[in-house]
Structure 1
Amino acid sequence: MNQSGAGTEAYTTVSGEHRSELEIKRSRFITVLRRTESEDEARALIASLRREFHDARHHCSAFILGPHRSVQRSNDDGEPSGTAGAPMLEALAKRETALGESSLSDVTAVTVRYFGGILLGAGGLVRAYSESVSSALDTARFIERRRLRLCALPAPHAAAGRLENELRAAGFTVRGTQYGAEAATISVALPDSAPALEEFTARVAALTSGDTSPEILGTEWIDLD
């Protein structure tokens, strides 16, 4: 399933930062993956790794950003044109996750190369950089992000716990309950669709005998465990 279109409701990203290393013909390829949600964050990672691995010859990079994967950049950092950043970007762009191929975003990959004295040639470099990113992705942890509709459900203090448990048991994503001075408010996240809202509203009416109804707060991208 390709999630890069205008109707994107879900995509995959990486959890935190992940590192892996390969040695290919005596050259060390250290790949760092990090979740990034802006170009500033991506470039900050690249800059920090330049400082950390200041004695390395190359710090090649690629990143994909946004729910629609609308920002895609790569940099060869001194390697022959098209032999590093482009294959790294392709490895990210075509990665298959639980949501299918081409669903990975908000991720930056930086591959640091320590030259081992043996020239790899253009084809060898393409394979090395692609393999370095793919190998790092193989052992990284992924997170699904989904655009959900947020609802607030008011409830009396005495009924809030029971209502929250029944909503969870029915399969709804309950984000928590806040207890105010006069009443509690249960926060629920729903798929961003009219049928999902109708189902939730009907279930709330049944559970509360029509005494309360949800307030729609808007939509938000939320990490799913």
Structure 2
Amino acid sequence: MSMDSYIRPTTDVVEDEVEIKRSRFITLITRVCDEAQARGFIDAAKARFPDARHHCSAYIYHVDGANPVERSSDDGEPSGTAGKPMLDVLKGSGMLDVCAVVVRYFGGIKLGAGGLVHAYGGAVSAAMDQVTRVCRASRELYAVSFSHAEAGRMEAELRGRGYSVVDTDYGAQVTYTLAIAPGGRDELNAELAALTQGQVVAKAAGAKWVELPL
């Protein structure tokens, strides 16, 4: 599957706590980009709250050219009562690259299967409201070269037209690397032709992921 952009959390850690029938549910949410980061975040929660009864978790992250990876753990709670409802909330948010850990301190009153599903899903939902989101977008890179005399003016013209300059190389000429939305090459070359009387054409220079504010 191809995905040009998606929503993810910032790298901040969001922490929230709710109490349900004397049990404390502490939710931690952050960005993770792979299995190792997810495991590290879950292990850190266990290390920080070593005396808690449960450290339930769910995460989902983007993989280039493949379906997102989804995992969840009930960590000793009855099967399907913790990790799955947590994962359902993450999926419902529309975000990827996100991991949630819910630490439970048991308060002595059993909640039952339905109560647990509601508690774990609700704890993650409450914390998700505090997550700052950004857009991760795929951008095509193009190199454009100008004489030193023209470069400053051309850079200003390109930026003024909304092009993002992500790199500058000073050689015999000044070469700017522009990041543009997929499929925008023809429009870029039309702009360049108008600005340079057809003297400059953009050269493909690969692609990269960039992060954009929402």
Same fold by TM-score, threshold 0.5 exceeded?
yes
Q: What is the SS of the residue equivalent to 1:94?
A: helix
Q: What is the SS of the residue equivalent to 1:205?
A: helix
1:18 to 14, 18, 21: 14
Whether contact under 8 Å (1:153, 1:187) holds in the other structure is: yes
Partner of 2:34: 38
Which blocks of at least 5 consecutive residues in structure 2 are unaligned?
none
- Summarize the alignment of residues 120-199 of structure 1 with structure 2, pairs less than 5 Å apart: 120-176=111-167, 178-193=168-183, 196-199=184-187
Indicate the RMSD between aligned Cα atoms, in angstroms.
1.5
Q: What is the SS of the residue equivalent to 1:136?
A: helix
Q: What percentage of aligned pairs have identical amino acids?
A: 44
TM-score by length of structure 1 reads 0.88
- Partner Cα separation in structure 1 for residue 107 and residue 165 of structure 2: 53
- What is the identity, as a one-letter code, of the residue corresponding to 2:117? V
TM-score by length of structure 2 reads 0.92
Whether contact under 8 Å (1:192, 1:219) holds in the other structure is: no
The size of the alignment, in residue pairs, is 210
- Partner Cα separation in structure 1 for residue 4 and residue 74 of structure 2: 32
How far 1:120 moved relative to its partner? Answer: 1.2
Partner of 1:216: 204
- Partner Cα separation in structure 2 for residue 91 and residue 62 of structure 1: 9
Whether contact under 8 Å (1:154, 1:185) holds in the other structure is: yes
- Partner Cα separation in structure 2 for residue 9 and residue 156 of structure 1: 33
- Partner Cα separation in structure 2 for residue 184 and residue 26 of structure 1: 66
Which blocks of at least 5 consecutive residues in structure 1 are unaligned?
1-5, 96-102
- What is the identity, as a one-letter code, of the residue corresponding to 2:207? T
Partner of 1:98: none
Matched, 1:70 2:65: no
